[in-house]
Structure 1
Amino acid sequence: MQRYRNKEEFIEELKKRYQLYDQEFNDIKEEEKNLLQPGVGKTPSQNISYQLGWTHLLLQWESDERKGIEVKTPAPNYKWNNLGGLYQSFYDQYSSYSLQEQRELLQNKVNEIITWIENLDDETLFTPGRRKWATTPAQWPVWKWVHINTIAPFKSFRAQIRKWKKEKGTA
């Protein structure tokens, strides 16, 4: 997994990967947002809904912990060994939005995450055990949770969207 020298490098990578991911949606028509292509596991709407769901959860975990609310990860009523239902809840929650609205919502979530990171001290961001919601047997620091729920899927899901467009014949 990629490592970061400091908070600034981490934020720059997040911005870069988000921008590259978002640009892939520029030439997808609204009427195609729910079109499933062979060999691609998600429609464009599901792809971005997944991102919206995880970015929302990251921010919710942090918000709840700061309010003294016990955080249940990944989400209340969902367990780590059964994420399919959680993903479906993301798709259901955001499916009524247009693709452009989904993109705007995701931009807002990414901006919120950047602001949150900017306001964290380096110890909280890079040292394991600084947030209860991030303390698992793996002992991941906050940055790693953010990375695997933003930067990493922005890369892999960008590839999925590119494959979707290739299958459709528009790439």
Structure 2
Amino acid sequence: MQEYTSKEAFITEIKKRADLFIKEFESIEEKDKDLRLEEGERTPFENLAYQLGWLALIQDWEKTENSGEIVAMPAPGIKWNQMGPLHEQFYADQQGKSLEEMRTLFNNAIETTCQWLDSLEDEELFKPGGRKWAQSTSSNWPVWKWVHINTVAPFKSFRTKIRKWKKLRAA
């Protein structure tokens, strides 16, 4: 897994990967957002809704812990080996929105996430135990790893999937 030398480097990488990812949606027509070109692959709408869902979930973990409550990981009523219902909820949360609206929400969510990360002390971000929710599994990851696997990593892999979708669509 990619490592970061500083909070600034981490935030810069999130912004860079988010920008590359979201730009892929500029050339997708609204009428094609729900088009599934290969069995098992997500549509452009689902790709973007998935990312919005995870960005919101990270913020929800933080908000829940800050209010003194125990964070249900990954979400209330969902176990780590049952992600399908969580992803379906992500899609339902964005239902009826245009790609343009979702792109705006995505950019806002990235800004909120980066502001939050910038507000953390290095120890909170890079050392295990920075947040109780980050200790919710046996891995006891620092906060940055949780954020990385739900931002930078999927922004890279999902960008590749969207590019593949656009190639198939053009063929």
In structure 1, the partner of 2:89 is 89
In structure 2, the partner of 1:27 is 27
The residue identity in structure 2 corresponding to 1:150 is T
Q: Is the 8 A contact 1:18 1:151 kept in 2?
A: yes
In structure 1, the partner of 2:145 is 144
In structure 2, the partner of 1:46 is 46
TM-score normalised by structure 1 residue count: 0.97
Report the count of equivalent residues. 170
Q: Is the 8 A contact 1:37 1:167 kept in 2?
A: yes
Structure 1: tracts of 5 or more residues without a match: none
Q: Distance in 1 between matches of 2:47 and 2:103?
A: 11
Superposition map of 1:66-105 within 5 A: 66-105=66-105
Q: Distance in 2 between matches of 1:153 and 1:40?
A: 17
Indicate the RMSD between aligned Cα atoms, in angstroms: 1.0
Structure 1 residue 69: Cα displacement = 1.3
Q: Distance in 1 between matches of 2:90 and 2:125?
A: 26
The residue identity in structure 1 corresponding to 2:72 is K
The residue identity in structure 1 corresponding to 2:159 is R
The residue identity in structure 1 corresponding to 2:60 is Q
TM-score normalised by structure 2 residue count: 0.97
The residue identity in structure 2 corresponding to 1:143 is W
Q: Distance in 2 between matches of 1:111 and 1:93?
A: 20
Structure 1 residue 38: Cα displacement = 1.7
Aligned-residue sequence identity (percent) comes to 50
Q: What SS is found at the alignment partner of 2:111?
A: helix
Structure 1 residue 95: Cα displacement = 2.1
The runs of at least 4 aligned residues of structure 1 exceeding 4 Å deviation read: none
Structure 2: tracts of 5 or more residues without a match: none
Q: Distance in 1 between matches of 2:70 and 2:38?
A: 41
Which moved further from structure 2: 34-43 or 44-53?
Answer: 34-43
